[in-house]
Chain A
Amino acid sequence: MDFTIGLLSKLVPGLAASPDWVLTTLGAAVPAVLLVTFMALGPIVYVYAETKIAGFMQDRIGPKRVGPHGMLQTVADAVKLLFKEAIFPAGVDKVLFVLAPCIVNVGAFLPLVVIPFGHQLQTVDLNIGVFYVTAVASLSTVGLIMAGWASNNKYALFGGMRSAAQIVSYEIPAVMILLIPVMIVGSLSLQDIVAAQAGGLQNWLLFRYFPLMPIAFLIFFTAGMAECNRTPFDIPEAESELVAGFHTEYSGFFFAMFFMAEYTEMLVISIVSSVLFLGGFHAPHPAFQHLGALGLGPFWLIAKAWFLMFIMMWLRWTLPRLRVDQLMYVAWKVLLPMSLTLMVVVGGLVMWKPTSSGFPTDKYVGWPLTAAFFFMLFMGIVRAVQWSRRRPQELAA
């Protein structure tokens, strides 16, 4: 914000003389408008990418007619949705019905306030950044329940309740994993967490305690995917059971808002995962951080986030939808114990002086521990692969 004010005063001579409230308003409004525009236009790209990837994975070619390679297909879809009539079915609670997509969008967009796109490219550097992200991201649950309740439709209500149950259960492992980077870095500020990962690939939190942090990352990514209702976990809008879940009754612009919220949430989850584990705006090697005088920080962050989004889409077109009980099994019996264990173990390793800054840094404890872990992991993987090779024959026999 101060950075924006400084930049604006430099760009517009005489602005520095204006009163404080003008500066504050401008400093808040300019980044907000930029960020919201960028993020709100994003889903057009993501939906196009999703349809294309879906097509390719099913040996089809996806949209093709509208524009070159069908690139304007989503633009056309968005325009169509914007101009369609918003239907209010009989018996809906109109206030909640309109409010619900807005709240979902608020929950999807607000975490972007604290995302660091660069050393100074951050709207606000809250000292409780991670906490803020989790707190604000769960706002969308309220919106989903609201949508389900206001629709006056049993399928919508089912969808809303399911999404509440799902998001609440998956937030627990996600938050526990969130604590691990916080414990390692010792700060809740996202800027600090990114700063702790400066200096290339080996400093990323993903590789800090080698076999432990990748598992933590996987758990966080899975839980995040469940939180934004993506396909292996999309029981709130399971179209084969509940017509379209919580947005059954929505049409036109409000439906488009739900869509936008879903894709923005995907992006937010990807960005947060890459900030926490993949080094944020730092390049894999410091040499790639700048292109001449041009800093590539935002580019790296967006690239990592888009890579994670691609993995989300990949998973979506790979996996079938989970049943409700399987979903709860994954959350409470798999992810939660694992994240709890990881939290305790990594917390202990952080507290223990020889391993406090990651395994490979300490000569006497770190390397041997890493070697032992590697060996165990290697043996485990070998045995597991052997077992999974044998397993189909066992099952067949």
Chain B
Amino acid sequence: MKQWLVDVWEGFWTVLVGMKITWRHLFVKKATLHYPEERWQLPPKSRMRLFMKYEDCIGCGQCARACPVQCIYIKAEKRPSTAQPIFAANGQPIKLDVSVFDIDMSLCCYCNLCTYPCPTDCIYMTPEFEFATTDLTQHLYHFAKQGATFITEDPKKKAAAAAAPPATTPPTTPPATPPATPPPTPPATPAGA
């Protein structure tokens, strides 16, 4: 009889304890993230869609060789020696004309191995992850541009030239970030001025 009373009380009491807990959770801040409206801050090294900066590519093809699933297709041919010399942002001369640079993101395994060998750091992972399409072929991204504007002046020489004259004047800023990108945006100048 006593054990019965104990059991009944325990059943009743534990129900009350459980109800107290759920009642408290009724007013707790909800854990749900309203996804399309709110977004989670992705970690800085997250590996999402690949991007290739065509203006910096020297067409060496190391990324395609590093790729374990062969999802990078490069076609490059030698630049005629008479053409104007062009350079990547870090000063590497571009000696090949890259006519095709395709990445098939439906094959990509997001291993990030292609970004390490790149001598000009022009291929990298972006935090962009919403690229679902209705057709698988739309995952083949073409990065080769037709009318790309390249740097025609050697950035190293330019940096040296920029560093040399200000050496005489005291207020100098070390050109930590040389003009990495070609200035294709004229509206940038009024903003700076």
Q: In the bound complex, do residue B32 and residue A60 qualify as a contact, i.e. CB atoms below 8 Å apart?
A: yes
Q: In the bound complex, do residue B19 and residue A388 qualify as a contact, i.e. CB atoms below 8 Å apart?
A: no
Asked whether B111 is an interface residue with its Cβ less than 8 Å from the other chain, the reply is: no
Asked whether A374 is an interface residue with its Cβ less than 8 Å from the other chain, the reply is: no
When distances are taken between beta carbons in the complex, the residues of chain A under 8 Å from B21 are: 318
Asked whether B176 is an interface residue with its Cβ less than 8 Å from the other chain, the reply is: no
Q: In the bound complex, do residue B9 and residue A319 qualify as a contact, i.e. CB atoms below 8 Å apart?
A: no
Q: In the bound complex, do residue A57 and residue B13 qualify as a contact, i.e. CB atoms below 8 Å apart?
A: no
B111 to chain A, nearest CB (A): 35
Q: Find the residue from B8, B29, B34 having the highest chain A CB count within 10 A.
A: B8
Q: In the bound complex, do residue B13 and residue A334 qualify as a contact, i.e. CB atoms below 8 Å apart?
A: no
Q: In the bound complex, do residue B10 and residue A57 qualify as a contact, i.e. CB atoms below 8 Å apart?
A: no
Top 6 A-B residue pairs of the complex, sorted by shortest distance between their CB atoms: A318-B18, A318-B22, A59-B31, A57-B22, A61-B32, A388-B13
Asked whether B30 is an interface residue with its Cβ less than 8 Å from the other chain, the reply is: yes
List 8 additional contacts besides A59-B31, A60-B30, A60-B31; criterion CB under 8 Å. Answer: A57-B25, A59-B30, A314-B23, A318-B21, A330-B11, A333-B4, A334-B11, A338-B8
B159 to chain A, nearest CB (A): 54
Chain B interface residue number, banded: 20 to 34
Using CB atoms and an 8 Å cutoff, list the residues of chain A in contact with chain B. 53, 55-61, 64, 314-315, 317-319, 330, 333-334, 338, 384-385, 387-388, 391
Closest to B4 in A: A333
Is chain B's interface secondary structure helix, strand, loop, or mixed overall? helix
Q: In the bound complex, do residue A318 and residue B10 qualify as a contact, i.e. CB atoms below 8 Å apart?
A: no
Within 8 A of A (CB), among B1-53: 4, 6-11, 13, 15, 18-19, 21-23, 25-32, 34
Q: In the bound complex, do residue B19 and residue A318 qualify as a contact, i.e. CB atoms below 8 Å apart?
A: yes
Closest to B23 in A: A314
Closest to B6 in A: A387
When distances are taken between beta carbons in the complex, the residues of chain B under 8 Å from A387 are: 6, 9
8 A-B pairs with CB atoms under 8 Å apart are A57-B22, A59-B29, A60-B31, A60-B32, A61-B32, A334-B7, A387-B6, A388-B13
Q: In the bound complex, do residue A314 and residue B22 qualify as a contact, i.e. CB atoms below 8 Å apart?
A: yes
Residues 83-122 of chain B, each 1 if its beta carbon lies under 8 Å from chain A, else 0: 0000000000000000000000000000000000000000
Complex Cα distance A61/B31, Å?
8
When distances are taken between beta carbons in the complex, the residues of chain A under 8 Å from B19 are: 314-315, 318
Residues 36-79 of chain B, each 1 if its beta carbon lies under 8 Å from chain A, else 0: 00000000000000000000000000000000000000000000
B156 to chain A, nearest CB (A): 56
Complex Cα distance A53/B22, Å?
10
B17 to chain A, nearest CB (A): 8
Q: In the bound complex, do residue A315 and residue B15 qualify as a contact, i.e. CB atoms below 8 Å apart?
A: yes
Complex Cα distance A60/B30, Å?
5
